[in-house]
Amino acid sequence: MFEYAPAPESRSVVDIKPSYGLFIDGAFVDPADGGSFKSVNPASEEVLAEIAEGGSQDVDRAVRAARKAYEKVWGRMPGRDRAKYLFRIARLIQERSRELAVLESLDNGKPIKESRDVDIPLVAAHFFYYAGWADKLGHAGFGPDPKPLGVAAQVIPWNFPLLMLAWKIAPALAAGNTVVLKPAETTPLTALLFAEICQQADLPAGVVNIVTGAGETGRTLVEHPGVDKVAFTGSTDVGRAIARAVAGSRKKLTLELGGKAANIVFDDAPVDQAVEGIVNGIFFNQGHVCCAGSRLLVQESVADQVLESLKRRMAQLRVGDPLDKNTDIGAINSAAQLARIRELTEAGAAEGAQRWSPPCELPERGFWFAPTIFTGVTQAHRIAREEIFGPVLSVLTFRTPAEAVEKANNTPYGLSAGIWTEKGSRILWMADRLRAGVVWANTFNKFDPTSPFGGYKESGYGREGGRHGLEAYLNV
Ligand code: NAD
């Protein structure tokens, strides 16, 4: 077999500063109490930068800046002028895409081919898409002249740092709101580069504020009385705590939480195509995907064939340096996440499921986990019920479409699902019965700014993306 030669992307395209302040009212400022934390490259454990930790005074300052910008500038600006800023930001993201992609891969651990070909293009597309809406809000189906809400507090996770920022900031700004966003503590760097892009675009001061910090900073932000809207993406536990904190206030809330999606393969599906979809469904972004196809439901009559092909395909996956353009699976985002994946996979083996990984050499430094599948999984196993958020697939079988629906829906989550079959009628029959916000047919993990995304049940409420995504930021 021919080996791939190393094809590393140069990290010199991005200039990482030794330390970063908070981005408040159009400028980088020191935190009031001077606290800080480190952002680490998960592939090497190298410290990338020292990041300011926002405390309650900083959050207050950011919310006030956002309020002032809302009342004096942004909330009064005609939509066509807001659109110009959003188009400008979108173009700057495209211009600086290589820099953003390298920084995202360094801070998050995701392969450069994903940050370069998926994350960053989708980020730009989101800003372009919502820029187009800014002067057409009266045609979005929410009345002739819908009004913004005011100041939005936005808290995002670490798995798609810049993409989750775009999902939050683009519709909020298009609708006329101003924002205070808190990126995740392990991946703050691209949000801070985005703040520089806001400066470069001459966005009026205070329209976008970035307050870095951990859970406590997030909690202070969502609980701040000066906030009109809270948008959160992250774990179901934190989502619950936020829903409790916001209950009884006038704040509007959207929650995008966890998932445990079923990827369902019928006996008439083209096996090679389905296997590509299974691999993409669970190994894309190291499985750190809320809508990952983490439960494979395969029809019993083709289970052996599908598993044999899947194992052959998995043996081809290259795990390693995220900056290498040939890498398929990068680093696990943090030591804490690696520990959680290990704990759940050990529980899977202890509960009697059979574990398999292809032979693969993992780098010595950094946080790594080999792509893994479990067969002989039953509905009762923790690995079939709990979100692992890593490159781990639980395989279950079914005999009839009704059994597939029952097993797929047997979860507290309801974010996404996949169906693989040649029959259009079966796709529609299944999609009608699956309790999932997104159902992909003969594909998986496809995203588009025009298409709404969101969950049922414990996967949260509200939709992001598309015309529907505007509703969360309008007084309707
Ligand atoms: P997390 O809930 O621990 O953290 C998410 C964010 O919330 C971080 O910025 C964190 O600092 C902040 N936070 C923590 N405690 C808080 C509190 N009490 N109040 C306010 N903010 C707080 O989740 P995570 O580990 O960063 O992300 C993984 C989870 O995110 C997974 O469960 C995944 O499914 C989910 N996710 C969902 C979507 C979606 O669109 N549905 C997208 C990506 C990730």
Tell me the pLDDT tens digit for each residue of 311-339.
999 999 999 999 999 999 999 999 999 99
10 Å CB burial of residue 447 (0-12, 13-18, 19+) is middle
Please tell me the distance between residue 233's alpha carbon and the centre of ligand 1 in angstroms.
Answer: 5
Region 14-32: what's the mean pLDDT? Answer: 98
- Give the Å distances, CA to CA, from 62 to 13, 136, 180, 209, 211: 31, 29, 7, 6, 8
pLDDT tops 90 at residue 192: yes
Question: Ligand 1: which residue has its CA nearest to atom 21?
Answer: 218
Vertex 291 angle, CA 115 and 428, to 5°: 120
pLDDT per residue as tens digits for the range 240-278: 999 999 999 999 999 999 999 999 999 999 999 999 999
Q: 35 exposed, middle or buried (CB, 10 Å; 0-12, 13-18, 19+)?
A: middle
Atom 43 in ligand 1: which residue has the minimum CA distance?
290
- pLDDT tier for residue 1 given thresholds of 50, 70 and 90: low
Closest ligand 1 atom to Cα of 160: 43
Most ligand 1 atoms within 8 A of CB, residue of 37, 39, 165, 235 to mutate: 235
Cβ neighbourhood burial of 415 (10 Å; 0-12, 13-18, 19+): buried
Residue nearest to atom 26 of ligand 1 (CA): 157
pLDDT, average across residues 292-297: 98
Confidence of residue 439 (pLDDT cuts 50, 70, 90): very high
CB of 391 within 8 A of CB of 282? Answer: yes
Could you give the residue numbers annotated as active site? 256, 290
pLDDT over 80 at 122, yes or no? yes
- Could you tell me the distance, in angstroms and rounded to a whole number, from the CA of residue 313 to the centre of ligand 1? 31
% pLDDT > 70, the chain? 100
pLDDT at residue 3, rounded to an integer: 83
Residue among 168, 223, 290 whose CB has most ligand 1 atoms within 8 A, to mutate: 290
Query: Quick one: pLDDT at residue 72?
Result: 98
Mean pLDDT to the nearest integer, 100-120: 98
Distance CA 178, CA 176 (A): 7
Rounded to an integer, the average pLDDT of 414-440 is: 98
Task: For a ligand 1 pocket test, name from 59, 182, 233, 386 the mutation site with the most ligand atoms within 8 angstroms of its C-beta.
Answer: 233
For residue 93, pLDDT over 80 is answered with: yes
**Residue 200: pLDDT band by 50, 70, 90 thresholds?**
very high
- What Rg value do the Cα atoms of the chain yield, rounded? 22
- Residue 397 forms beta bridges with which residues? 298
pLDDT average, residue stretch 74-97: 98
Sign of CA dihedral 34, 222, 167, 148: negative
Residue 34 pLDDT exceeds 90: no
- Helix and strand numbers (H, E) in the chain are 16, 18
Q: What's CA 439's distance to the chain center, in Å? A: 17
% residues pLDDT > 90 (the chain):
99
Query: pLDDT tier at 350 (50, 70, 90 boundaries)?
Result: very high
With 90 as the cut, is the pLDDT of residue 2 above it?
A: no
CA 5 to ligand 1 centroid distance, Å: 37
Ligand 1 center to 200 CA (angstroms)? 29
Q: Which residues line ligand 1 (CB under 6 A)?
A: 155-159, 182, 184-185, 214-215, 218-219, 222, 233-235, 238, 241-242, 256-259, 290, 387, 389, 415, 455, 460
Between CA 269 and CA 273 the distance in angstroms is: 8
